[in-house]
Chains A and B, each alone.
Chain A
């Protein structure tokens, strides 16, 4: 039998939980939070609003953890491989942004909130990339 004649079912129609959509929603929350805080630098934005946005972003990422934990037939090895390398890349990017904030004398609560948002950013992107790769991978 030649490779051309092999009929393998496509993974394109595979039904999986909305990890990308939830991750994008979390990313929107992180972007809104960073813009809100950065717009006030070097002064402080309202902590209550900033923390609320941070909580929403974190909650959405926890939803994604829950959705991913329930997956059974999934290419976890590929997911981990891609997520690990993407995490390395995005940790460098988040580190550079953090460096700019610290260099600009951002301190105290403001710095903590911005740092946590950057952590969420650096964790979210690798999950989205790894999920998109692994969803088209056969187990």
Chain B
């Protein structure tokens, strides 16, 4: 039996649960984003630290976990298993990642401003700029390659006859880019721990 036919059968079994954007998750996204806006508007130190530390911790951990643990496992799965996993995993990532990235960056920028790290005369300014650069590289990879692949694979899975080769190609792109952002997260860990060490 060809891989494409196997893929089609697996997709037919998994499709009833497939929802590209999990609508039930949208209220949680709204709550998080409103929370970030309130923390910024009121300059609440604890709120900003909470958003940055919790968001950053989740972002780093998820990137490392997907890039180095989940990614290689997906790569060794059979195509039907890969499809079944993607059907459940990808819609959640579609909501989760942009939310925690926005939460982390918005709060982090405010904290950098409050702590004077944005001031070019601050001795730690270079580290903040380095973190901007790391985030910039991750943003380009994630927004130009990873997220489009994530969305495209979900649309492919929704089709009556999904193309196994398309899914394989897109999942390969997803796994490789997740690995690269995982490596970039190691740089983030180094920069952030250096920044808060006196």
* Interface residue ranges, A against B (CB under 8 Å): 3-4, 6, 8, 10-12, 20, 23-24, 27-28, 31-32, 34-35, 38-43, 78, 82, 85-86, 89, 92-93, 96-97, 99-100, 103-104, 124-125, 128-129, 131-133, 135-137
Collect the chain B residues with CB atoms within 8 Å of residue A92's CB: 33
Given known contacts A11-B166, A34-B136, A96-B33, A133 and B129 CB-to-CB distance under 8 angstroms: no
| B contact patch SS | helix
* In contact, B140 and A24 (Cβ under 8 angstroms): yes
* In contact, B140 and A31 (Cβ under 8 angstroms): yes
Shortest Cβ gap from B106 to chain A (Å): 6
* Interface residue ranges, B against A (CB under 8 Å): 4-5, 8-9, 21, 33, 36-37, 40-41, 98, 102, 105-106, 109-110, 113, 118, 120, 125, 128-129, 132-133, 136-137, 139-140, 143-145, 147-149, 151-152, 155-156, 161, 163, 165-166, 169-170
Q: Output the nearest chain A residue to B139 by Cβ-Cβ distance.
A: A31
Residue in B102, B155, B161, B170 whose beta carbon sits within 8 Å of that of A8 in the complex = B161
Given known contacts A38-B109, A103-B40, A32 and B136 CB-to-CB distance under 8 angstroms: yes
* In contact, A133 and B148 (Cβ under 8 angstroms): yes
Collect the chain A residues with CB atoms within 8 Å of residue B113's CB: 41-42, 104
Collect the chain A residues with CB atoms within 8 Å of residue B151's CB: 82, 86, 129, 132-133
Chain A CB within 10 Å — which of B5, B40, B140 has the most?
B140
* In contact, B165 and A20 (Cβ under 8 angstroms): no
Collect the chain B residues with CB atoms within 8 Å of residue A12's CB: 163, 165-166, 169
* In contact, B155 and A35 (Cβ under 8 angstroms): no
Nearest 9 CB-CB pairs, A to B? Answer: A132-B148, A31-B136, A24-B144, A35-B132, A12-B165, A132-B152, A129-B148, A133-B152, A10-B165
